[in-house]
């Protein structure tokens, strides 16, 4: 069974631009969560989607948004990029909501210049 | 979510058993203890989960004392490929908001 895939793997953007990252969960998984990982802050939860609805949200500004499609694929968008948004963005999927076991993708490395 | 405290780094030789301890003093009744492993440029990988006593799977064991204020991940006979960062997490069942601790960087020495 294919794992979680994320596209693109690497991205370079300029301050002020916006970016959209994509995540395809493991087939059959309905819950998708997003995380930001930086050397300074470590892994931080962004939001979780289940059945096309945002169920949980972390402490990030409104510039960070996401959505989930009917096939469980998910996208996250960051508008008005700042230098501090440079990070590894990880997507994780799980079969259902009530689980501690999430499967992570390889991440998208975003660099903002 | 309960806060976890782990050693920042550990070194071990190949073939030895490695024990990584995590402190979670304010763990709640409904919380579960989980461990993830992360290699450079990869997403974290689930290793093991437990609630109390001992849990064992094909790659690790997890020891949780009765008070559940700490837990120990045990990796038997480590190899160079076990060099990674290990994260302890305490999760409230039903809460998909994983808050990772700072992790323990394990380095295996040949």
The chain-wide mean pLDDT, for chain B, equals: 91
pLDDT band at B95 (very low <50, low <70, confident <90, very high): low
pLDDT at A7 over 70: yes
- The minimal CB distance from B97 to the residues A42, A58, A88 is found for A58
Report chain B residues whose CB lies below 8 A from the CB of A105.
43
Residues contacting A74, CB < 8 A, separation 6+: A22, A23, A25, A32, A34, A49, A66, A67, A68, A91
Higher pLDDT, B109 or A1: B109
pLDDT given for residue B96 in this prediction? 61
- The minimal CB distance from A45 to the residues B45, B49, B97 is found for B97
pLDDT at B94 over 90: no
Least confident of A15-19, A76-80, B26-30, B44-48: B26-30
Scan for tokens 């045990």, then name that residue: B74
pLDDT at A18 over 90: yes
Confirm or reject contact between B93 and chain A (CB < 8 A). yes
CB–CB contact A100 B49 (8 Å): yes
pLDDT digits (tens, 9 = 90+) for B43-91: 999 999 999 899 999 999 999 999 999 999 999 999 999 999 999 998 8
pLDDT given for residue B2 in this prediction? 66
pLDDT band at B1 (very low <50, low <70, confident <90, very high): low
Q: Which residues of A touch B (CB under 8 A)?
A: 4, 31, 33, 35, 42-45, 48, 50, 55-56, 58, 88, 90-92, 94, 97-107, 109
CB–CB contact A106 B34 (8 Å): no
The chain-wide mean pLDDT, for chain A, equals: 93
Average of pLDDT values for B17-44? 91
- Residues of A36-50 as b/e, b for ≥16 C-beta within 10 angstroms? bbeeeebbbbbbbbb
pLDDT given for residue A110 in this prediction? 97
Residue A105 distance to chain B (closest CA, Å):
6
pLDDT given for residue B3 in this prediction? 80
Burial classification of residue B21, based on how many CB atoms lie within 10 Å of its CB (0-12 exposed, 13-18 middle, 19 or more buried): middle
């Amino acid at each position: 069974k294919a794992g979680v895939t994320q596209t693109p793997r690497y991205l370079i953007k300029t301050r002020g631009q916006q970016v959209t990252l994509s995540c395809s969960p493991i087939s059959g998984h309905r819950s998708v969560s997003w995380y930001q990982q930086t050397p300074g802050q470590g892994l931080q939860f962004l939001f979780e989607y289940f059945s096309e609805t945002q169920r949980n949200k972390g402490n990030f500004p409104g510039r960070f948004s996401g959505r989930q499609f009917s096939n469980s694929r998910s996208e996250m968008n960051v508008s008005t990029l700042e230098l501090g948004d440079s990070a590894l963005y990880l997507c994780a999927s799980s079969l259902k909501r009530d689980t501690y076991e999430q499967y992570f993708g390889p991440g998208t490395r975003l660099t903002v210049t | 979510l309960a806060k976890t405290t782990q050693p920042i780094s550990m070194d071990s030789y190949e073939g030895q058993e490695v024990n990584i301890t995590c402190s979670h003093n304010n763990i709640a009744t409904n919380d579960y203890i989980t461990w993830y492993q992360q290699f450079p440029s990869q997403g974290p990988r689930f290793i093991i989960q437990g609630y109390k006593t001992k849990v064992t799977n094909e790659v690790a064991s997890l020891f949780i004392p009765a008070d559940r204020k700490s837990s120990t991940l045990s990796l038997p006979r480590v190899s160079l490929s076990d060099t990674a960062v290990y994260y302890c997490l305490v999760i409230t069942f039903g809460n998909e908001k994983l808050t990772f601790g700072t992790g323990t960087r394990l380095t295996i020495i040949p």
